[in-house]
Amino acid sequence: MTQPFLPFTRPSIDDDTIADVVAVLKGGWITTGPRVASFEQSLSDYLGGRTVRSMTSATGGMEMALKALGVGPGDEVIVPAMTFAASANVVERLGAKAVFVDVELRSRNATPAAMEAAITPRTKVLMPVHFSGLAVDMDGVLDLAARRGLRVMEDAAHAIGTRYKGRLIGSFGDVASFSFHANKNMTTVEGGALAYADSRLTIPLERERFHGIVKDAAGNIDIETAGGKFNLTDVAAAVGLGQLRSLEAFNQRRTALAERYAARLASHVDTDRLPLPGDGHSWHMYPFLLPLGDLGMTRDAFIAKMRERGIGLGIHYPCVPAMSYYRGIGWNPANFPIAARIGAETVTLPLFPAMADSDVDRVCDALLELLPR
Ligand SMILES: *Cc1c(COP(=O)(O)O)cnc(C)c1O
């Protein structure tokens, strides 16, 4: 019996959501309008009343937010060496410098102590990344920022629905950036949102998001800054509204699947190879570290063998300082040994809400068959 291919992730979009997308498309107003307003309001309600602005991607949102926080040439932003490259790229795009710090092996998160050691007189912002939906030590990060006069922009791309000590990420702190890319815990196809405390960020963010346009009472426009173009569409927001209704259920299902992986794998592999569980984890991914030394094959060959068995694996992520651009400006991954190890050994196992328990078993059977005993 051949089973259907199991990808490492897949979005779940219900019929009510699809019906609403059709209604928007038939309604005549398809770009930014009432659905975007209602999506932002719903996100704000979910995040305990925080100010929320949506945009076309988290990458765009992070760049807009850092710019609104005053980051520019000569400034430094502290970024973990284990993250998606967008976290660092947005800093570089503003002419500022991404300063990398190493992470912990099982949580894949940077500690406040590691961030503190990287602070220089040029440091302006700390960028914690809640890797795979496990919250960073936010009390430690916010305390460090307060002591050193820094801003905090959380890359919460993995962390919609993540809780830290019972509080949702994005419902406290300084600025948090969520991604609604198709692979994330909820999607708008492409999209993102910023949730923040300081209402003075709203005007610069709105100008940056939509051409720098300001309107007078009669509707005449003026341009006060050379803004960009990052506004979400009502079609995308209709998808997001449907996803937000299902988010808690999605994340509960992700958690149950992650627990099943841990239960199946714990007695067969070193604990170090499994991701750290934790209260409030939203389980965006289930990363696993391959024992490359004893495996008898490369990671690429392992991924190909899993694919032959109908199972798709991802790689999240290569160590960012190992990328050509970052090497070219002087970074050396050897200075981030844990992130470099994760970057070399990691594979992402399939994890998405529509998976059955038997899919986890199928992945574990294939994995254990290929791993050394
Ligand atoms: C997905 C992701 C981003 C970028 O999100 P987009 O919405 O695709 O721009 C940024 N940081 C991390 C850690 C991500 O996983």
Q: Which 8-state DSSP code applies to residue 110? A: P
User: Is the model's pLDDT at 2 over the cut of 80?
Assistant: no
Check: CATH 3.30.360.10 for 247-370?
Answer: no
203-236 residue pLDDT tens: 999 999 999 999 999 999 999 999 999 999 999 9
Confidence of residue 154 (pLDDT cuts 50, 70, 90): very high
Query: For 103, phi and psi rounded to 5 degrees?
Result: -120, 175
Q: Is 54 in the pocket of ligand 1 (CB under 6 A)?
A: no
What is the CA(85)–ligand 1 centre distance, in A? 8
Closest CA to 239 of 6, 9, 23, 7: 23
Q: Which of 184, 215, 229, 305 is catalytic?
A: 184
**What pLDDT score was predicted for residue 3?**
81
Q: Is 87 in the pocket of ligand 1 (CB under 6 A)?
A: yes
287-317 residue pLDDT tens: 999 999 999 999 999 999 999 999 999 999 9
Q: Is 192 in the pocket of ligand 1 (CB under 6 A)?
A: yes
* Six token digits for residue 152: 């905090």
CA-proximal residue: ligand 1, atom 2 (nearest): 157
**What pLDDT score was predicted for residue 238?**
98
Helix (H) or strand (E) holding 366: helix 357-370
What is the CA(290)–ligand 1 centre distance, in A? 24
**What pLDDT score was predicted for residue 20?**
98
* Six token digits for residue 294: 């004893």
User: Is the model's pLDDT at 351 over the cut of 90?
Assistant: yes
Q: Is 86 in the pocket of ligand 1 (CB under 6 A)?
A: yes
Q: Is 129 in the pocket of ligand 1 (CB under 6 A)?
A: yes
Q: Is 115 in the pocket of ligand 1 (CB under 6 A)?
A: no
Q: Is 176 in the pocket of ligand 1 (CB under 6 A)?
A: no
Burial class (CB in 10 A: 0-12, 13-18, 19+), 252: middle
**What pLDDT score was predicted for residue 49?**
98
- Mean pLDDT of all residues in 142-166: 98
5-48 residue pLDDT tens: 999 999 999 999 999 999 999 999 999 999 999 999 999 999 99
* Six token digits for residue 228: 């960009």
Every domain range in the chain assigned CATH 3.90.1150.10: 247-370
**What pLDDT score was predicted for residue 1?**
55
The residue to mutate among 83, 132, 155, having the most atoms of ligand 1 within 8 angstroms of its beta carbon, is 155
Amino acid identity of residue 265, one-letter, is: L
261-276 residue pLDDT tens: 999 999 999 999 999 9
Using the atom order of ligand 1, give the atom closest to the CA of residue 184: 1
d(CA 289, CA 344): 9
DSSP codes joined into one string, 158-172: T-TT-EETTEETTSS
Q: How far is CA 132 from CA 28, 191, 284, in A?
A: 38, 18, 5
Q: Which 8-state DSSP code applies to residue 121? A: T
Using the atom order of ligand 1, give the atom closest to the CA of residue 179: 7
Q: Is 158 in the pocket of ligand 1 (CB under 6 A)?
A: yes
Cα torsion angle, 109, 112, 113, 116, sign: positive
What is the CA(267)–ligand 1 centre distance, in A? 33
Check: CATH 3.40.50.2000 for 15-240?
Answer: no
- Backbone torsion region of residue 166, taken as left when φ is above 0, otherwise alpha when ψ lies between -120 and 50, otherwise beta: left
* Six token digits for residue 218: 């009669």
User: Is the model's pLDDT at 110 over the cut of 80?
Assistant: yes
Strand duo 97-101 + 76-80: pairing: parallel
Task: Note the residue count of the chain.
Answer: 373
**What pLDDT score was predicted for residue 180?**
98
Using the atom order of ligand 1, give the atom closest to the CA of residue 83: 13
Residues in contact with 108: Cβ distance below 8 Å, sequence separation at least 6, in sequence order: 82, 131, 132, 134, 275, 287, 342
User: Is the model's pLDDT at 373 over the cut of 90?
Assistant: no
Using the atom order of ligand 1, give the atom closest to the CA of residue 180: 7
User: Is the model's pLDDT at 88 over the cut of 80?
Assistant: yes
CA-proximal residue: ligand 1, atom 8 (nearest): 181
Q: Is 157 in the pocket of ligand 1 (CB under 6 A)?
A: yes
Rounded to the nearest 10 degrees, the angle between the axes of helix 58-68 and helix 202-209 is 130
What is the CA(205)–ligand 1 centre distance, in A? 18
Every domain range in the chain assigned CATH 3.40.640.10: 15-240
Q: What percent of the chain has pLDDT over 70?
A: 99
140, 111 contact by CB (below 8 A): yes
**Mean of the per-residue pLDDT values of the chain:** 97
Is 184 among the residues known to form the active site?
A: yes
Residue 175 pairs in a beta bridge with 153, 196
49-62 residue pLDDT tens: 999 999 999 999 99
